[in-house]
Amino acid sequence: MARRAKTTRQQRRRRARYEPRERMLIVCEGTKTEKLYFENARQVLGVQRGQAVVEVESGEGSNPKNIVDTARKLKTKAEKEGNAFSSVYCVFDRDEHAHYQPSIERANKLKMLSITSVPCFEYWVLLHFRNHTAPYARTGAHSPCDRCHRDVKAEWADYAKNRTRLFEELQPRLDNAKQRAEQRLTAAKADGSDNPRTEIHLLLNAMEALKETKAIQT
């Protein structure tokens, strides 16, 4: 019996020693493209929800304001429960949303990070196949995001918003996409234009960094 008790104490110490030190919250638009993408990325990168490292949630509505509101609620709830997130990311598109810039500013004031794509998430997908620097604009009934989606379909005819393994399918092209996204982000800052650009690669870099987090030593 004493030996069993000792084993139990050792197991408890071992669990405490390997308790993750970071908790990341990602709140994104809708229940399809972005949410499925980051859930798949979390699985492939080895930062599963069961490890209480990365949580991916949908916003209560698809516009930037709703995304920030949802993230604030979840952040506050976690803090009250004594299980605060170490980082909170709000993922949303520019497209033609009226509350885009105010939502970025509000997220900053709430000590949350906004991860944006102009015109939309599909621009990040497109960069896996080729570079694209021309701005997107509305043409008739087609929004900037519609036109970007058309460009993705031209490169990948089978692309759809409900693909559950999107990150995994695109992973062989990931390094090229990151390089193109970083180059475009640098150029956008230099010329004062954000159309087009994306910051999705910055969030993926943060997720990958969690894998390198060493177990807490006691």
CB 157 within 8 A of CB 151: no
Check pLDDT > 80 for residue 167: yes
Edge-first strand listing for the sheet containing 197-198:
54-58, 24-28, 87-93, 113-118, 197-198
Cis peptide before 172 (omega within 30 of 0): no
How far apart are alpha carbons 183 and 99 in whole angstroms? 27
Task: Give the per-residue pLDDT at 92.
Answer: 96
pTM of the predicted model, to two decimals?
Answer: 0.87
Q: Which two tokens stand for residue 57?
A: 């949630």
Q: Helices 200-211 & 174-191, crossing angle to 10 degrees?
A: 130
Q: In terms of Cα–Cα distance, which of 85, 84, 89, 80 is closest to 112?
A: 89
DSSP reduced 3-state for 82: coil
Q: In this predicted structure, what is the pLDDT of residue 21?
A: 65
- Please give the mean pLDDT across all residues of the chain: 88
Regarding predicted confidence, which is higher, 137 or 19?
A: 137
For the chain, the domains span: 21-211
Q: Are 26 and 200 in contact (CB under 8 A)?
A: no
Q: How far is CA 116 from CA 32, 35, 181, 210, 216, in A?
A: 17, 14, 12, 21, 32
pLDDT, one tens digit per residue, over 130-139 is 999 999 999 9
CATH topology of domain 21-211: Rossmann fold (3.40.50)
